[in-house]
């Protein structure tokens, strides 16, 4: 009788482990599927821009977009450079905003994967450690209701190391909801793009 009880417990334990592992894998598949949707959206957008631009414009377009994701290049550099190279103003500005949204979504929908990559990558580990120290200082200061506004300013102003990726990581680490972080990224990026573009075109004069 005791032997049968042990076997039943053993089978039950194995079944529970299997179900837990299955749910874990399904969760990961769902997350990766979301990342696939984001990546596909970016690829389709690239194809659309290729069709809408001239050969000369496209030659610079994809190079500048790639450079945008490599520090220290940022909006304050890439946006005016693209406009100087006579990119279509609306398409160029919308592209930067759109890719900010996609990058933010890719981090928010696959935070676990991003965190693993940051922790185990020699290239990003140092920057990630600095970011964790910054997050720790923010927690200690207890900004309260001002915290969302501060995160928006962080996204809005082109600091070194700020942007959609860092804002998404910072917001996730601080416990913000995904929708709230996405809204902050969208609004901050839009305002930043409008201000930089208006300044370049002489519509807005700063200093």
Per residue in 146-189, pLDDT tens? 788 888 888 887 665 568 888 888 888 777 888 999 999 999 99
Kindly state whether residue 64 falls inside one of the protein's structural domains. yes
**CA terminus-to-terminus distance, the chain:** 87
Average pLDDT, integer, range 102-109: 87
Measured from the Cβ of residue 167, the count of other Cβ atoms closer than 10 Å reads 26
- Distance, CA of 152 to CA of 73 (rounded, Å): 20
User: Which residues, including other chains, have CB under 8 Å from residue 96's CB and lie 6 or more apart?
Assistant: 68, 75, 78, 79, 189, 193
- Distance, CA of 83 to CA of 101 (rounded, Å): 21
pLDDT of 115 strictly over 80: no
pLDDT averaged over the chain? Answer: 78
pLDDT tens sequence across 10-57: 656 654 454 445 445 555 667 677 778 888 999 999 999 999 999 999
Kindly state whether residue 207 falls inside one of the protein's structural domains. no
- Distance, CA of 101 to CA of 38 (rounded, Å): 10
pLDDT tens sequence across 134-143: 666 666 666 6
Q: How confident is the model at residue 59 (pLDDT cuts 50, 70, 90)?
A: very high
Task: List helix spans (H) across the chain.
Answer: 2-52, 55-68, 75-84, 89-109, 111-120, 122-141, 147-156, 164-173, 178-200
Kindly state whether residue 189 falls inside one of the protein's structural domains. yes
Kindly state whether residue 206 falls inside one of the protein's structural domains. no
Q: How confident is the model at residue 118 (pLDDT cuts 50, 70, 90)?
A: low
Residue (of 16, 203, 189, 31) closest to 101 by Cα position:
189
Kindly state whether residue 205 falls inside one of the protein's structural domains. no
Under a CB-based contact definition with an 8 Å cutoff, are residues 88 and 42 in contact? Answer: no
Q: Which domain holds residue 108?
A: 2-200
Q: What is the pLDDT of residue 18?
A: 45
- Distance, CA of 26 to CA of 31 (rounded, Å): 9
Q: What is the pLDDT of residue 196?
A: 92
Q: Which residue has the tokens 């991003």?
A: 114
Average pLDDT, integer, range 121-129: 64
Q: What is the pLDDT of residue 160?
A: 57
Kindly state whether residue 86 falls inside one of the protein's structural domains. yes
Q: How confident is the model at residue 58 (pLDDT cuts 50, 70, 90)?
A: very high
Residues of the chain with pLDDT > 70, as a percent, come to 64
Kindly state whether residue 24 falls inside one of the protein's structural domains. yes
Under a CB-based contact definition with an 8 Å cutoff, are residues 186 and 101 in contact? Answer: yes
Kindly state whether residue 165 falls inside one of the protein's structural domains. yes
In which element (H, E) is residue 70 found?
A: none
Domains in the chain, number: 1
């Amino acid at each position: 009788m005791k032997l049968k009880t042990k076997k039943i417990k053993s089978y039950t334990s194995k079944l529970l482990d299997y179900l837990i592992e299955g749910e874990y894998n399904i969760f990961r598949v769902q997350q990766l599927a979301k990342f696939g949707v984001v990546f596909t959206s970016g690829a389709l957008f690239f194809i659309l821009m290729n069709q809408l631009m001239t050969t000369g414009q496209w030659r610079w377009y994809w190079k500048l977009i790639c450079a945008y994701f490599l520090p220290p290049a940022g909006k304050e550099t890439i946006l005016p450079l693209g406009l100087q190279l006579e990119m279509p103003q609306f398409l160029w500005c919308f592209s930067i905003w759109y890719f900010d949204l996609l990058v933010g979504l890719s981090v928010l929908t696959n935070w676990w994967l991003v965190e693993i990559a940051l922790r185990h990558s020699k290239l990003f580990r140092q920057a990630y450690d600095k970011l964790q120290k910054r997050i720790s200082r923010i927690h200690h200061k207890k900004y309260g209701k001002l915290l969302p506004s501060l995160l928006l300013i962080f996204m809005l102003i082109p600091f070194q190391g700020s942007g959609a990726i860092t804002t998404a990581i910072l917001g996730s680490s601080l416990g913000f909801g995904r929708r709230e972080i996405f809204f902050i990224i969208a609004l901050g990026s839009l305002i930043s793009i409008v201000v930089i573009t208006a300044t370049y075109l002489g519509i807005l004069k700063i200093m």
